Amino acid sequence: MPLIEHTANGLFCQAGDFYIDPWRSVDRAVVTHAHSDHARRGAHSYLVPIDGVGLLKHRLGDDIKVTGIPYRTGIEINGVKVSLHPAGHVLGSCMVRVEHRDEVWVVSGDYKAQHDKTCQPMEPVLCHVFITESTFGLPIYRWKPSHLIFEDIHRWWQSNREENRCSIIFGYSLGKSQRILAELQPLGPIGLHGAIASLIPAYEAAGVKFPAWEKVDTSNKEQVSRFKKGGMILAPPSANGTPWVGKWGDVATASASGWMTIRGPKRRANVDAGFVLSDHVDWTGIMETVQATGAQRIGITHGYVNTLVKYFHEKGVDAFALETRFQGDAAEE
């Protein structure tokens, strides 16, 4: 019996009788982060890093029974040692280390190696078996250092501002938008769509610092006229192409996503600019992290599963596929 196995409810550790990112109602859930393909309602109890409690409650409801523990602190669940380690993906994201009878497995959830002001940096954890995501698990996905992307964003904002246009960046509302906000040097007013603004208190409760921002409201004429003259607004991808965008005048729009690598931005995403910015690990990051774990077996989930399994097999590495049911942030990311 493997220490962690795939079941109809998701990844299950029978020895400890708990699930990791379960898909259905279970007794005990360890959750890697608050994105919808990992955090589902219906578990009797949840275990997450302390930093992740606020976002989990925001997503699943204040009535859930959730325990937050510090990163790297081991606890025992039915005789199985469990500890949570920073995954660098979004605020409160973790890799789950499970140890039982001299065997160590690590389930990564989503993770990234790049710098992010809104969460703890990812720490590879030594293990025998490492389960990795593969959202961008192809060699074509290699991220530039993120400070270069943020410089591009500022240049773009500056040139739109000189033309008296409002800039709108569409990015995933949990994680991506807060990451961009934390890096913005205010050239003008910064506005947040309500879907993004509603998550800010959970970040501030965890100690994340942001520049001054305001929640935008198209019925506020004074605010609209200020933003029309060179403001910056962060909005979720679902707002793109809606009448809401037109309320901000002759705007310049952009999408911030790892998928901008392959999508001709204007053609595919209906935006003026594309910034390749992902909260997932790129090809190089997967390879380096896998190596850093020292794992002898690699489980692959979330993304280019079969391609990556084949790649590892050709390299003589023991790899296997793990099914996933939800592709929540992978699609929007």
Token pair in block for residue 327: 């592709």
Q: Which is nearer to Zn ion, 52 or 265 (CB)?
A: 52
Q: Which is nearer to Zn ion, 37 or 116 (CB)?
A: 37
Q: At closest approach, how far in Å is the CB of 37 from Zn ion?
A: 4
Q: At closest approach, how far in Å is the CB of 38 from Zn ion?
A: 6
- Measured between alpha carbons, how far is residue 163 from residues 29, 151, 191 in Å? 51, 19, 19
Q: Which is nearer to Zn ion, 86 or 230 (CB)?
A: 86
At 314, the amino acid letter reads: E
| Cα 213 from Cα 188, distance rounded (Å) | 10
Q: At closest approach, how far in Å is the CB of 245 from Zn ion?
A: 26
Give yes or no for a contact between 91 and 118, defined as CB atoms under 8 angstroms apart.
yes
Establish if 116 lies at the interface with Zn ion (CB under 5 A).
Answer: no
Q: Which is nearer to Zn ion, 88 or 191 (CB)?
A: 88
DSSP assignment of 213-279: -EE--TT-HHHHHHHHTT-EEEE-GGGTTSHHHHTT-S-EEEEE-GGGGTS-HHHHH--SEEE---S
Q: For residues 43-82, which are near Zn ion according to CB under 5 A? A: none
| Cα 260 from Cα 278, distance rounded (Å) | 9
Strands (DSSP E) contained in the chain are 5-7, 10-13, 18-20, 28-30, 45-49, 66-69, 75-77, 80-86, 94-100, 103-107, 129-134, 167-170, 190-192, 214-215, 232-235, 252-256, 273-275, 297-303, 318-321
Give yes or no for a contact between 46 and 40, defined as CB atoms under 8 angstroms apart.
no
Q: Which is nearer to Zn ion, 89 or 161 (CB)?
A: 89
Token pair in block for residue 191: 């506005």
Q: For residues 295-324, which are near Zn ion according to CB under 5 A? A: none
| Cα 164 from Cα 101, distance rounded (Å) | 64
78 backbone dihedrals φ, ψ, rounded to 5°:
50, 40
Site string for Zn ion, 145-184 (x = CB under 5 A): ----------------------------------------
Number of residues near Zn ion (by CB under 5 A): 4
Establish if 37 lies at the interface with Zn ion (CB under 5 A).
Answer: yes
Establish if 329 lies at the interface with Zn ion (CB under 5 A).
Answer: yes
Q: At closest approach, how far in Å is the CB of 128 from Zn ion?
A: 24
Binding segment for Zn ion among 148-156, 164-172, 268-276, 325-333 (CB under 5 A)? 325-333
Q: At closest approach, how far in Å is the CB of 79 from Zn ion?
A: 29
Pick the binder of Zn ion from 51, 110, 282, 332 (CB under 5 A): 110
Establish if 332 lies at the interface with Zn ion (CB under 5 A).
Answer: no
Pick the binder of Zn ion from 12, 23, 34, 35 (CB under 5 A): 35
**Which residue in this structure is represented by tokens 């259905």?**
24
Q: Which is nearer to Zn ion, 99 or 279 (CB)?
A: 279
Q: Which is nearer to Zn ion, 51 or 110 (CB)?
A: 110
| Contact footprint for Zn ion (CB under 5 A) | 35, 37, 110, 329
